[in-house]
């Protein structure tokens, strides 16, 4: 079994000629053409070709990084709030029992 990777223009707009998978001297299990429209290689997963340019992955990474940053800030704010509330609860707690004003008498 083999696959043909057609020629393509890489990210630098240089024409890369087509090739067959598996490549000579490569892994014999890499019989599928994988990658993106501008980056192709041989691999062993038949579902690893994406009809997009490789650069779109950077936008996904930036979006994930922004989302994780926002989540980290929210978590940090939550932890700080809990710590402040615990400190206020402990520091404002009375140190001794309150005097009820009643004295106990022996009968």
Instruction: Give the tens place of pLDDT for each residue, 27-48.
Output: 888 888 888 888 888 988 887 7
- Residue 28: inside a domain, yes or no? yes
Overall domain count for the chain: 2
Task: Assess whether 16 and 37 both reside in one domain.
Answer: yes
Q: Give the structural domain span for 35.
A: 3-43
The two beta strands, 40-43 and 15-16, are: unpaired
Question: Comparing C-alpha atoms, which of 59, 38, 35 is closest to residue 47?
Answer: 35
- Residue 100: inside a domain, yes or no? no
**What's the pTM value of the predicted model, to 2 decimals?**
0.46
As a dihedral over the C-alpha atoms of residue 35, residue 39, residue 40, residue 43, rounded to 10 degrees, the angle is: -50
- Residue 62: inside a domain, yes or no? yes
- Residue 70: inside a domain, yes or no? yes
Task: Assess whether 36 and 62 both reside in one domain.
Answer: no
Task: Assess whether 37 and 57 both reside in one domain.
Answer: no
Query: Is residue 3's pLDDT more than 90?
Result: no
61-104 confidence digits (pLDDT tens):
777 888 899 999 999 999 999 999 999 988 887 766 666 666 76
pLDDT-wise least confident of 1-5, 41-45, 52-56:
52-56
Task: Assess whether 39 and 8 both reside in one domain.
Answer: yes
Task: Assess whether 56 and 35 both reside in one domain.
Answer: no
């Amino acid at each position: 079994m083999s696959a043909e990777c057609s020629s393509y223009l890489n990210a630098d707009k240089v024409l890369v000629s087509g090739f067959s998978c598996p490549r000579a001297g490569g892994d014999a299990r890499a019989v599928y053409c994988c990658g993106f429209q501008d980056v192709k290689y041989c691999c062993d997963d038949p579902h690893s070709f994406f009809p997009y340019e490789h650069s779109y992955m950077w936008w996904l990474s930036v979006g994930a990084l922004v989302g994780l940053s926002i989540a980290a800030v929210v978590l940090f704010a939550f932890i700080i709030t809990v710590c402040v509330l615990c400190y206020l609860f402990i520091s404002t707690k009375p140190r001794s029992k309150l005097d009820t004003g009643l004295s106990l008498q022996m009968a």
